[in-house]
Amino acid sequence: NQVIHQYFDEKNTSGVLVIQTDKKINLYGNALSRANTEYVPASTFKMLNALIGLENQKTDINEIFKWKGEKRSFTAWEKDMTLGEAMKLSAVPVYQELARRIGLDLMQKEVKRIGFGNAEIGQQVDNFWLVGPLKVTPIQEVEFVSQLAHTQLPFSEKVQANVKNMLLLEESNGYKIFGKTGWAMDIKPQVGWLTGWVEQPDGK
């Protein structure tokens, strides 16, 4: 724990690293109370957004979301993208479009069905994960991705497999790292996330 604690200190920030092995959860860092503190999920919500959209046939993995030439926050987002490409680039506009297709009523129903965080999305369907009211704790995020990693969420196996493929960050020597970043930059203080899992050569 001291190494992780020191790392956060050196970066002049407060943070917690939550690691779940089987059913056991361990906490590391210099702000362990954050593990049970609610924060907006920011772009980590793209995982659930994609699951809901694919399960309810609001899109598919091959659809190209067109860029219409408007200025976007990052130039890397200024192009046509599939859902998977938008996941890797964390392209907010693509997932806002998907959220609008899903619609407020279905989105609220699905978020409650999954029991994600406080399950509150408010009245605006395309920014509740960026500025609230949706909030989730780091431990809840870990529990969510643990279910996804083991294909145990209440979505079809195919949909879960497709979303997992979108989340592959790195592969080396039989190890695979899956994950999703999040950065809530429109709130004070800002919040950063990296939520994911490691798949070992033995499949664990």
Which listed residue (14, 43, 73, 90) is catalytic? 43
| Helix axis angle, 46-55 to 157-166, nearest 10° | 140
Looking at residue 22, its pLDDT comes to: 86
- Rounded Cα gap, residues 185 and 171, in angstroms: 29
> Per-residue confidence at 202, pLDDT binned at 50, 70, 90?
confident
Q: Does residue 156 sit in helix, strand or coil?
A: coil
Is residue 130, in this structure, part of any structural domain at all?
yes
Is residue 105, in this structure, part of any structural domain at all?
yes
Is residue 33, in this structure, part of any structural domain at all?
no
Is residue 1, in this structure, part of any structural domain at all?
no
The set of residues, in sequence order, having a beta carbon less than 8 Å from that of 167 and lying 6+ positions away, is 47, 87, 178, 179, 180, 196
Its domain, for residue 163, covers 38-199
Is residue 3, in this structure, part of any structural domain at all?
no
Number of domain units in the chain: 1
Closest CA to 180 of 56, 89, 65, 66: 89
Is residue 117, in this structure, part of any structural domain at all?
yes
> Is residue 43 among the annotated active site residues?
yes
- Rounded Cα gap, residues 46 and 41, in angstroms: 9
Is residue 85, in this structure, part of any structural domain at all?
yes
Q: Is the pLDDT of residue 189 over 80?
A: yes
pTM of the model as a whole = 0.96
> Per-residue confidence at 203, pLDDT binned at 50, 70, 90?
confident
Q: Look up the CATH number of the domain holding residue 121.
A: 3.40.710.10
Is residue 29, in this structure, part of any structural domain at all?
no
The encoded tokens of residue 38 equal 């609610």
The set of residues, in sequence order, having a beta carbon less than 8 Å from that of 189 and lying 6+ positions away, is none
Looking at residue 204, its pLDDT comes to: 81
